[in-house]
Chain A
């Protein structure tokens, strides 16, 4: 069984540009989570999906951020009009349900210049 995969692994963009990240969860995991991690901090929750339904969004997720999970499989996280403060590691995790562990992907490191 392959783990969670994320693409791209690194992204450098200019302020004001839009970026999109992709996450492929472990197959048959119906829960998918997005977290953001800045330097020296633990991951912070952004949003999660159960199948294709987005069930919760953090206040960290401004209106420039949007996430989708069409057909309950892979997920995309889009940031519009990026700002330098968006520079962080974006982590995706999946789990079969909430009581077991979440398994994380390698993350996408975003740098906004």
Chain B
């Protein structure tokens, strides 16, 4: 079974639309960390957010927001009023002692924002 599942392979939206990227994870640990990274066409992975398993408060940073739901093992990422510069591949990742405390990545979601 996949430890981190990003079911959406590719999403296309028109600029100014809101878009939500889904992430479902799997771990038996009670303490773990979840991350989102952005990979623009240049290739460098850019850190966006880290969330620990004890903090279920949703977080907002500008146009970005994250919804962590332990009950459904999900950590979804929403971009409000999308822009062309948001076009990238977005990766969700999990760090848990069960997996040796390294990052375990999902397969990524390609987001295309059209003007």
Q: Do A and B bind each other?
A: yes
Chain B positions within 8 Å of A89 at CB level: 43
Q: Does A85 sit at the interface, judged by CB under 8 A? A: no
The bracket for how many chain B residues form the interface is: 20 to 34
A-B contact count (CB 8 A): 54
Q: CB distance A45 to B45 under 8 Å? A: no
Q: Which residues in chain B, 78-99, are within 8 Å of chain A measured between CB atoms?
A: 91, 93, 95
Given contacts A41-B107, A42-B108, A104 and B102 within 8 Å (CB-CB):
no
Max chain B Cβ within 10 angstroms of own Cβ: one of A33, A40, A99, A101: A101
Q: Give the docked Cα–Cα distance between A42 and B91 (Å).
A: 7
Q: Give the docked Cα–Cα distance between A100 and B93 (Å).
A: 13
- In the A-B complex, the 3 residue pairs with the smallest Cβ-Cβ separation, listed nearest first, are A42-B105, A104-B45, A98-B101
With A104-B45, A106-B44 known, 10 other A-B pairs at CB within 8 A are A33-B102, A42-B106, A43-B103, A45-B104, A91-B45, A93-B103, A102-B47, A103-B47, A104-B46, A109-B43
Q: CB distance A107 to B44 under 8 Å? A: yes
B binding-site residues for A, Cβ under 8 Å: 4, 33, 35, 37, 42-47, 50, 52, 91, 93, 95, 100-108
Chain A's closest residue to B9 (CB) is A40
Chain B positions within 8 Å of A42 at CB level: 4, 91, 93, 105-108
* Minimal beta-carbon separation of A112 from chain B (angstroms): 18
Chain B positions within 8 Å of A56 at CB level: 100, 102
Q: Give the docked Cα–Cα distance between A100 and B101 (Å).
A: 11
Chain B positions within 8 Å of A106 at CB level: 42-44
Q: Which secondary structure characterizes the binding site on chain B?
A: strand
Q: CB distance A99 to B102 under 8 Å? A: no
Q: Does A74 sit at the interface, judged by CB under 8 A? A: no
Q: Give the docked Cα–Cα distance between A106 and B70 (Å).
A: 33
Given contacts A41-B107, A41-B108, A48 and B102 within 8 Å (CB-CB):
yes
Q: CB distance A105 to B47 under 8 Å? A: no
